[in-house]
């Protein structure tokens, strides 16, 4: 069992860069959504429309752009030109932060191979061991950042590159005269806490710390204003081993003495079933409990940072996040498209609800620098835009959050939310009672928006929303749902509503994500 878990862990980073043809969510029979009345359990959410806690951080709506395979289909083949269908959808998402040049593929990326005329560029190695010409080079990437107003985040090649190469990349992006954005944020390597699948890319935690020191010094000698992010991982997630390098975080934090400004975490892929013995409902409820493990890991990371760097204010950056269930692709390759049920659960309503829950937590957490969904397009079952250039379920959540990251976070209070027991799966231990409804509220001018998750796999629930001081107002609700959380296509359902005497009663479809929009005054 331990060996299987380690094999899966070592393969997660490897598969992220693979180009695997997929389709939209399959339609199965599933359970019909009965016209049963909503469960009335006294659940109340009070939203204080005039009590803003702090401005929202727009950088939680970041994304990832992986360079190989024509940037995972984003570019026309053998060119630097975006494919129109992909660009049209990506424009709708307009990520607020964009990480590049990949996850594991950054370990083999040499930036000089991606500049100049396309037909003059040297081929670059991919994580699959192949050579490919870079269409999505540094300038093409920064042009997209400019187009979307996205904050650039570059992950340097610490595995097979050098400190000097990283420093010259800083010089190239930040010390030349053009209209492309400067790069302020730099991630120092990618997932060195996992065993490398290529020998030349492997390093121990001590080697990572030494290389990170050298790279940060060299890069800040070119531009002292940049911010560096080091890669951290605790020994366990949810009590389960999460790195083969025991004591990784202690070794790294003791070893890195050069100033760094943020910590990069990927403790955001859940639940990851190792044994595959769970029922679909058990997998779903574990997915709904995943953010609790993520939050526990955040606090464990903060404690380690306080222990080793007590006088340094360090923000957290979730530079990759998405749902993850299994890695049958490591056993069956492309045949897993047909043989695996659980691999493709990523691109389901359950995966979309997990993404919405992550974005809720990031929005409510005040020491988050940014969060980057993995990934923008293609990329096995991960991309928000599929290999066919169509929206996947997470796309709709990410698009809805364009409105939910504007303005200020509001104070809310919840009472009477029904608790829900969840099953154990992978990194997620069984939970006796998580809230079956989660919500947060934001305000932009006269517009109030409330994002609500009904995590219950079976029950339609009623949420009574109180708005002290509001009185009467027009409202509309958009609900993202599906007849089955793993097997059915998702769709939005729209309905109008009205606030009377500062209250509204909202029926929430089972396993659904709802955005309630209220126009004040």
Secondary structure, 3-state, 62-112: EEECCCHHHHHCCECCCCCCECHHHHHHHHHHCCCEEEECCCHHHHHCCHH
CA angle 52, 57, 59 (to 5 degrees): 165
Write out pLDDT tens, residues 49-65: 999 999 999 999 999 99
Please give the span between the terminal C-alpha atoms of the chain, in angstroms, as a whole number.
59
What's residue 18's pLDDT?
A: 43
What's residue 25's pLDDT?
A: 35
CA 208 to chain centre: 24
**448 and 482 belong to one structural domain:** yes
Which is higher by pLDDT, 148 or 21?
148
CA distance linking residue 290 with residue 284, whole number of Å: 10
Question: pLDDT class for 16, splitting at 50, 70, 90?
Answer: very low
The answer to whether the CB of 518 falls within 8 A of the CB of 467 is: yes
**8 and 97 belong to one structural domain:** yes
Question: pLDDT class for 11, splitting at 50, 70, 90?
Answer: low
User: For residue 450, what are the contacts with CB-CB under 8 A and spacing of at least 6?
Assistant: 45, 47, 439, 440, 441, 442, 465, 515, 516, 518
Residue 165 covered by a domain: no
**341 and 475 belong to one structural domain:** no
By CB atoms closer than 10 A (0-12, 13-18, 19+), residue 246 is: exposed
Q: Give the mean model confidence (pLDDT) for residues 190-206.
A: 94
What CATH number should be reported for the domain holding residue 492? 2.60.40.1180
Write out pLDDT tens, residues 249-306: 999 999 999 999 999 999 999 999 998 999 999 999 999 999 999 999 999 999 999 9
Whether the per-residue pLDDT at 24 is higher than 70: the answer is: no
- Residue at a domain's end among 404, 419, 453: 404
Tokens representing 33 are 């959504």
pTM equals 0.94
Sign of CA dihedral 268, 374, 159, 368: negative
**428 and 510 belong to one structural domain:** yes
**280 and 336 belong to one structural domain:** yes
Instruction: Provide the pairing of β-strand 269-271 with 315-324.
Output: parallel
Domain span at 460: 44-51+408-519
What CATH number should be reported for the domain holding residue 394? 3.20.20.80
The answer to whether the CB of 494 falls within 8 A of the CB of 477 is: yes
Tokens representing 114 are 């991606």
Q: For the chain, what percent of residues have pLDDT higher than 90?
A: 88
**513 forms bridges with which residues in the sheet?**
453, 480
Residue 168 covered by a domain: no
**373 and 490 belong to one structural domain:** no
Residue 223 covered by a domain: no
If you average pLDDT over every residue of the chain, what do you get? 93
CA distance linking residue 122 with residue 131, whole number of Å: 9
Residue 369 covered by a domain: yes
- HSE-up of 442 (CA within 13 Å, CB side)? 21
CA angle 33, 34, 36 (to 5 degrees): 130
Residue 424 covered by a domain: yes
Question: pLDDT class for 2, splitting at 50, 70, 90?
Answer: very low
What's residue 330's pLDDT?
A: 86
**300 and 438 belong to one structural domain:** no
Cα torsion through 128, 134, 138, 143, rounded to 10: -120
**388 and 253 belong to one structural domain:** yes
The answer to whether the CB of 110 falls within 8 A of the CB of 416 is: no
Phi and psi, residue 487, nearest 5°: -115, -5
Residue 419 covered by a domain: yes
**414 and 370 belong to one structural domain:** no
Whether the per-residue pLDDT at 202 is higher than 60: the answer is: yes
What's residue 154's pLDDT?
A: 99
**266 and 341 belong to one structural domain:** yes
Number of folded domains that form the chain: 2
Characterize 255-272 residue by residue with b for buried, 16 or more Cβ atoms within 10 angstroms of its Cβ, and e for exposed.
bbebebbbbbbbbbbbbb
Residue 470 covered by a domain: yes
Residues in the chain: 521
3-state helix, strand, coil split of the chain in percent (to 5) is 35, 25, 40
Phi and psi, residue 292, nearest 5°: -70, -35
Whether the per-residue pLDDT at 416 is higher than 70: the answer is: yes
CA distance linking residue 126 with residue 184, whole number of Å: 26
**245 and 122 belong to one structural domain:** yes
Question: pLDDT class for 190, splitting at 50, 70, 90?
Answer: very high
What's residue 31's pLDDT?
A: 32
Write out pLDDT tens, residues 77-93: 999 999 999 999 999 99
By CB atoms closer than 10 A (0-12, 13-18, 19+), residue 206 is: middle
Cis peptide before 79 (omega within 30 of 0): no
Residue 218 covered by a domain: no
**392 and 441 belong to one structural domain:** no
Q: How far is CA 161 from CA 30, 60, 169, in A?
A: 49, 29, 11
Q: What is the DSSP string of 450-472?
A: EEEEE--SS--EEEEEE-TTT-S
What's residue 26's pLDDT?
A: 32
Question: pLDDT class for 41, splitting at 50, 70, 90?
Answer: low
- Residue at a domain's end among 356, 374, 404: 404
CA distance linking residue 114 with residue 111, whole number of Å: 5
- Residue at a domain's end among 404, 425, 441: 404
Q: What is the DSSP string of 11-30?
A: HHHHHTT------SPPP---
């Amino acid at each position: 069992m331990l060996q299987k878990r380690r094999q899966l862990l070592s393969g997660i980073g490897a598969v992220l860069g693979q180009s695997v043809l997929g389709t939209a969510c399959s339609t199965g029979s599933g359970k019909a959504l009965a016209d049963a009345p909503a469960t009335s359990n006294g659940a109340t959410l009070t939203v204080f429309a005039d009590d803003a806690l702090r401005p929202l951080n727009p950088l939680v709506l970041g994304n990832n752009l992986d360079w190989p395979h024509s940037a995972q289909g984003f570019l026309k083949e053998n060119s630097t030109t975006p494919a129109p269908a992909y660009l049209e959808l990506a424009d709708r998402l307009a990520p607020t932060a964009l990480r590049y040049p990949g996850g594991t593929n950054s370990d083999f990326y040499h930036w000089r191979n991606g500049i100049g005329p396309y037909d003059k560029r040297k081929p670059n190695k991919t994580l699959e061991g192949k050579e490919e010409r870079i269409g999505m080079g540094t300038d093409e990437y920064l042009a997209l950042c400019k187009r979307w107003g996205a904050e650039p985040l570059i992950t340097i090649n610490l595995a097979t590159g050098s400190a000097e190469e990283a420093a010259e990349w800083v010089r190239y992006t930040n010390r030349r005269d053009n209209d492309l954005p400067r790069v302020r944020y730099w991630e120092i390597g990618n997932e060195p806490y996992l065993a490398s699948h290529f020998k030349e890319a492997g390093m121990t935690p001590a080697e990572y710390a030494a290389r990170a020191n050298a790279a940060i010094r060299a890069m800040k000698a070119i531009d002292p204003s940049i911010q560096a992010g080091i890669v951290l991982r605790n020994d366990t997630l949810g009590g389960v081993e999460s790195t083969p390098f025991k004591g990784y975080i202690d070794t790294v934090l003791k070893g890195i003495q050069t100033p760094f400004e943020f910590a990069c975490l990927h403790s955001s892929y859940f639940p990851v079933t190792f044994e595959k013995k769970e029922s679909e409902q058990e997998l779903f409820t574990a997915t709904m409990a995943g953010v609790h493990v993520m939050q526990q890991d955040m606090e464990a990371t903060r404690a380690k940072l306080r222990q080793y760097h007590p006088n340094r204010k360090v923000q957290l950056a979730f530079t990759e996040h998405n749902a993850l269930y299994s890695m049958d692709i490591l056993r069956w390759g492309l045949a897993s498209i047909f043989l695996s049920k659980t691999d493709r659960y990523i691109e389901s309503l359950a995966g979309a609800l997990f993404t919405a829950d992550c974005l809720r937590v990031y929005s409510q957490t005040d020491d988050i620098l940014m969060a980057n969904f993995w990934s923008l397009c293609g990329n096995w079952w991960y991309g928000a835009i599929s290999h066919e250039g169509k929206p996947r379920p997470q796309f709709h959540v990410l698009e809805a959050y364009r409105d939910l990251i504007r303005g200020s976070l509001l104070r809310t209070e919840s009472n009477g939310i029904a608790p829900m027991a969840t099953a154990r799966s992978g990194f997620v231990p069984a939970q006796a009672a998580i809230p079956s409804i989660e919500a947060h509220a934001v305000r932009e001018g006269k517009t109030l928006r409330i994002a609500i998750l009904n995590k219950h796999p079976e029950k339609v629930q009623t949420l009574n929303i109180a708005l002290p001081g509001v009185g009467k107002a027009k409202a509309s609700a958009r609900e993202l749902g599906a007849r089955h959380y793993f097997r059915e296509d998702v769709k939005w359902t729209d309905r109008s509503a009205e606030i009377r005497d500062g209250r509204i009663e909202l029926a929430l479809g089972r396993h659904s994500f709802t955005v309630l929009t209220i126009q004040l005054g």
